[in-house]
Structure 1
Amino acid sequence: MLDDDRIPRDPPTPDVPTRLRRAGAGGVATVEKTLAVLEVVADRGGATAKEVSEVLGFPLPTTYRLLQVLVGCDYLVHLRARQRFELGYKLARLGVSLHRQVGVPVPVRQRISKLHETLGTASYFAVYRGSDVVVAHVADCATHPRITPLNFGFHEAGHATAFGKILLAAMSREDAAEYLDTHGTERLTSTTITDRDELEHHLAEVSRRGVAWEREEFVPTKACAAVAVHDASGAVMGAVAISTPDREVDRRRAAEVEHALRSAANEISRWLRTG
């Protein structure tokens, strides 16, 4: 789970029907449909069967059947008096389990807070789970707020975020190409790098320098920078990052940010190696 429940959430996923069409028929499609129902109920803060049916385009009998499966497994509860379905208690157990897996040790949290105070920027610790970037801890304040939108995981913005660029730069050329084939290079702002050749050249520079920057590529008016964190084997397991108004980043400020990020990332890497 994210460290702070103040982080805003995105609206319901718009491409669920597209994903379902790709799933085809059979058991996989049934699982996809069941999970899509769960996502709609979660995104809407509860929903009636009719609302779920309309959002997903499922026949009402199919929707009822899938809802009852989720109720039977305790992933949803049926509030009969209100004819609504809401999230069940088993999801809380899953959340606790996920938090245990990506929980941030106190020394790491303290180091991210120190980075926030030193630079006067929102500061982040992200970990990589497969090909997903999970923002595990954020240190910010009213004067230096975090970027928004900021979800638990970034699925399709790796090419446009400093976190994601660190991950992509650490991959082999083949793995990076597969990642981009899967997730795409959507243009999020007017400065997002969407050309694959240009992005490949940019990632080579990230790999060479050991620091990733994005200037208004993910969110207008914001700049972000990140440096890799390594595990005991030397593999990239996450990143330390900051975000700040782009207008405040001149050459001198960029050098200050990079120095502070490298220092924080090195300290956290050492702590993770030794415990």
Structure 2
Amino acid sequence: MGDEAGPELTAYVERALRVMEAAGAHAAEVPVQQLARETGLPLAGVQRLLKALAQDGYLTEPDDGAFTLSGRHSPLGSEHNGHKRLDRVRPALTSLRDELSAAVYLTLYEEGEIRIMEIVDSARTPRVDLWVGFHDAGHATALGKSVLRELDEKARAEYLSRHSLTDLTPHTITCRDELLRQLDSSPTAPVVMDREEYARGTTCVAVPVYSGDRVGSLGISFRSDRMYRTSRVRAGLLASAMRVTMGLSLPD
């Protein structure tokens, strides 16, 4: 991995799964203290996880301080469904769009390609014109560079051997060594940016997400002349990445 973002996200989802499994083992609601004992996790951490799981609809809280597995989700271990997973994370994408007033994008790395899985925009937050497909533009977008940054050396080399670093704008990085240096030494990691590297007048910011063991990225785009607070963008993206990773990784 490029840094600790991947392991942190994975550990978060693993803890959420343990809490879900513990709650699902009971026919009735379970007190927080009991779930903490059964999972072996700190009480404060379990409380935070339970609130997040309840917020996203995986658990319900019939009584104050007690939780149960939500009836609208299938039991753990059932077959994954791509459409259901996207439906599950769409509220988080919409919330991020509204919070940062920017179009939101979700990608996953599948079969050696960086694929756009979902775009959430609006009339006030239009998406960037995807004038070049991601097959030819992974090196020039924050979304693509976020994925490349998380790949191991072998997978990254294999990807770059099949994709030319096409010159899309005067700001596009077309030198492989320069791209690799940028990926491995970003001072803002795990946040990755592209400043008019894909499209003139557009800036994009992205962070990694995971669907099980598959890496992806969550990002936003906005006009380069727009003023924005870096700390707010970073905090919003990282918090949403946790929710999206959990939604993509938890069983249906």
Distance 1:215 1:262, change over 3 A: same
How far the C-alpha of 1:207 sits from its partner, in A, is 9.4
SS of residue matched to 1:248 = coil
Which residue is 1:140 aligned to? 121
Instruction: Tell me the alpha carbon deviations over residues 184-220 of structure 1, each in whole angstroms, 9 at most, x when there is no partner.
Output: 1011000001111111111113598112110000000
Alpha-carbon distance in 2 for matches of 1:135, 1:142? 20
Alpha-carbon spacing, 1:102–1:219, altered in 2? closer, same or farther (3 Å): farther
- Give the aligned length: 171
Measure the CA separation in 2 of the matches of 1:150 and 1:125.
17
Encode CA deviations 1:143-182: one digit per residue, 9 max, x unaligned: 210011267x611111101111112111222332232221
After TM superposition, the score normalised by the length of structure 1 is 0.57
Query: Is the contact made by 2:150 and 2:215 (CA closer than 8 Å) also made in structure 1?
Result: no
- Indicate whether 1:113 and 2:94 are aligned: yes
Task: Give matches, 1:202-241, under 5 Å.
Answer: 202-206=182-186, 209-232=189-212, 235-241=213-219
Residues in 2 aligned to 1:102 and 1:154: alpha-carbon distance in whole angstroms: 21
**Which residue matches 1:187?**
167
Distance 1:198 1:136, change over 3 A: same
> Per-residue deviation at 1:241?
0.8
Match of 1:257 in 2: 233
Larger-Rg structure: 1
SS in 2 for 1:191: coil
Bigger relative CO (Cα 8 Å, ≥ 6 apart):
2
Amino acid across the alignment from 2:234: E
Which residue of structure 1 lines up, in the alignment, with residue 158 of structure 2?
178
Identity over aligned pairs, percent: 32
Contact 1:104–1:136 under 8 Å retained in 2? no
8 Å contact from structure 2 (residues 110, 214) kept in 1:
no
Q: SS where residue 247 of structure 1 aligns?
A: coil
Show structure 2 runs of 5+ residues with no match. 1-80
Query: 5 Å matches for 1:70-85?
Result: none
Partner SS state of residue 155, structure 1: helix
Aligned to 1:129: 110
Amino acid of the structure 1 residue aligned with 2:185: E
Query: Taking structure 2 as the reference length, what is the TM-score of the superposition?
Result: 0.62
Contact 2:144 2:217 in 1 (8 A): no
Higher fraction of helix: 1
**Structure 1, unpaired ranges of 5+:** 1-99
